Structure 1
Amino acid sequence: MKTSHNLLRREIVTAAVLLCGGLLTSTASAQPAVYQQALKATTWVLAKNSEGTSSGTGVLIDKERKLVITNAHVVGDSRNTVIFFPAMVNNRPKVERSYYLENVRKLGIRGRVIAVDRKRDLALVELSSLPEGAEAVKMATESVPQAATVHSIGNPGSSEALWVYTSGTVRTVYQKKFRTGAGQHDFMVVETQAPINSGDSGGPVVDDEGNLVAISQAIAPKARLISYCVDITEVKTFLESPWKPAPLPVTELLKTMDREFSQHSSGHYEVSFELANEEKVSVFITKDIEYYERADVRKIWTLTNVSKKAPSAETALKLLQLSARTKIGAWTMEQTQTGEYLIIYCVKLDATASADAVSSTMEYVAKLSAAMKKDLAEKPETASAGDTLANWLAD
């Protein structure tokens, strides 16, 4: 009886081992197939913006309309990109970066950034063409469940290779508000323990069936093996909402305005306006774009007055009244670390405004500042008639 029991136990254990081995073999064999499927939709994204050339990853989500989605922080303030799809040799992708850069005329595809959503850190790029063999990724119908296996492809800057494969497990899915170097974000996060490196951003995260479940976004800098991805529900909401155009880079705007400009030591840009009375006023425009939700704004300002004395209550009241009456912008008073008092006029303008609108706004700021500068100029004190009579008699 004991021998029979041991024999049955060994048979159960053997069956369990064979079953687990079969599952592992099945999962392992499925990974190359998932990779090859997702690879057809994966792109290398290059964009030149005010900070230089950025490199990231993207994924083709609409073959008919030739649309690639990536992270907003990958394209930055650029409206143009260069896109590469993997060049295949013997069913394997060429992974050397130099190969693509040296053959940019043959392999590079021009892309135009047609929409951005900085809150979700997503951007949409429309391509001029598609290479043979490119296929759009299929999108999952709902959020990926916890503990599911996910696969991703990226172009990490830390590696000399492109089209790098990574796999991991979904830790959880939840709504998250957080800040990265790209700004403030608020979206449904797929948190995984698959590593994300600089250059992987914007790449596809797919399930075992090859369906897109998320877009790679960022890592938790103070934690180990915690990566954040933009959930597929956020991607769909972005695609279904009215598309907001990407703001022009500030240097492109200034060049279009046909005005001379220079970059200040602070990194912001300075434009000098010569007014009718030959007075020159410097107006500044920020190098960065501020945003809230889907509102993108540029800050334009000028320094009108610097004083070691605090502005009087009368001056403060006057500035407050003028701010209520001005067409755009407002007056502000600030104190520096050295104790000086600054009077500044500042306008926050829609970052997608045309070059003509920006030029008109900057000229308006210059004229308003010049007028206020005259009002704030210290006037010599005039003695009263009584004081004058007393002084004369004293002499």
Structure 2
Amino acid sequence: MLSEEVVKAVEKVKPSIVNVSTVKMVYEFFFYAFPVHGVGSGIVVDEEGLFLTNHHVIRGSDRIQASFYDGLMMEGRVVGVDPSLDIALVKVDGANLKPAELGDSDTLRVGEIVIAVGNPLGLAGEPTVTMGVVSALDRQIVSRELFFPELIQTDAAINPGNSGGPLVNLKGEVVAVNTAIIPFAQGISFAIPISSIKPLIESFKKYGRIVKPWLGVKTIDVNRQITNYYSLG
């Protein structure tokens, strides 16, 4: 039965969900400071305390607190970021955690059932579970700060606080990381494919930091003057 498959998938991934709470100190005139609190979700990817979340969840934070499924609460520190992909890696010390099983987002099909798990609005207690389908693949989304070329679109309900949490298939495998919604729309949410994130995790485990290839190229528009100068016509 479908309901039993969903229950098993959720039970498999729940121990790997992280409730992320952040504090950022904001300074006003006369050096008066007040805390701004934020919430998000995360996914354990390493038994030794490494978990991933969205970069926008922890960006600029002075303090990160991670709460785990068994009630354990620990201070986290950022050990790697990829702002262009909106992904951050956070580490807690001395933890014996259960990592989630990472699936293959390249095999996803439109119409496939997916499950979003996370901590919307910072609600206390167990993670919140919603279900939907893969609505579209390779969605391109442009924001004021980021360009996402290949997001997964889903109608599984995602709310503030879900960011950084997993989108899983019926096998309980993480196939994407929930990252964005369109506030004025209904049933339109977006997640980052896990296949884009795996190289970051592997890079950190190998080098102790995120290493990405880059090409030192600058482009310019070719106008008539440049065409004539270099005889490009």
- TM-score bracket, shorter-length normalisation: 0.7 to 0.9
For residue 167 of structure 2, the aligned residue among 183, 197, 205 is: 205
CA change 1:43–1:219 in 2 (3 A) is same
SS at 1:78 equivalent: coil
Structure 1 residue 241, shift from structure 2 partner: 4.5
Tell whether the 8 Å contact from 1:55 to 1:74 is kept in structure 2 after alignment. Answer: yes
For residue 112 of structure 1, the aligned residue among 77, 95, 101 is: 77
In structure 1, the residue matched to 2:98 is 135
In structure 2, the gaps of 5 or more residues are 27-35, 215-233
Segment of structure 1 superposing worse, 185-194 or 159-168: 159-168
For residue 78 of structure 1, the aligned residue among 51, 61, 68 is: 61
In structure 2, the residue matched to 1:218 is 180
Could you list the structure 1 runs, at least 4 aligned residues long, displaced by more than 3 angstroms after superposition.
Answer: 158-162, 240-245
In structure 2, the residue matched to 1:31 is 6
Structure 1 residue 221, shift from structure 2 partner: 2.4
Q: CA RMSD in A?
A: 2.3
Structure 1 residue 159, shift from structure 2 partner: 4.7
Tell whether the 8 Å contact from 1:61 to 1:67 is kept in structure 2 after alignment. Answer: yes
Q: Larger RCO: Structure 1 or Structure 2 (Cα < 8 Å, ≥ 6 residues apart)?
A: 2
% identical aligned pairs = 26
- Aligned amino acid, residue 135 of structure 1: K
Equivalent residue runs for 1:221-370 within 5 Å: 221-241=183-203, 243=209
CA change 1:79–1:120 in 2 (3 A) is farther
- Rg bigger for which structure? 1
For residue 39 of structure 2, the aligned residue among 55, 66, 71 is: 55
Cα distance between partner residues in 1 of 2:62 and 2:199: 22
Structure 1 residue 115, shift from structure 2 partner: 0.8
In structure 2, the residue matched to 1:284 is none
Structure 1 residue 117, shift from structure 2 partner: 1.2
In structure 2, the residue matched to 1:195 is 157
In structure 2, the residue matched to 1:149 is 113
Tell whether the 8 Å contact from 1:49 to 1:75 is kept in structure 2 after alignment. Answer: no
Cα distance between partner residues in 1 of 2:171 and 2:94: 27
Tell whether the 8 Å contact from 2:45 to 2:51 is kept in structure 1 after alignment. Answer: yes
Tell whether the 8 Å contact from 2:111 to 2:133 is kept in structure 1 after alignment. Answer: yes
Tell whether the 8 Å contact from 1:57 to 1:70 is kept in structure 2 after alignment. Answer: yes
Structure 1 residue 77, shift from structure 2 partner: 1.7
- Aligned amino acid, residue 167 of structure 1: M
Structure 1 residue 109, shift from structure 2 partner: 1.2
Structure 1 residue 79, shift from structure 2 partner: 6.2
CA change 1:165–1:244 in 2 (3 A) is same
SS at 1:62 equivalent: coil
Q: TM-score, normalised by structure 2?
A: 0.77
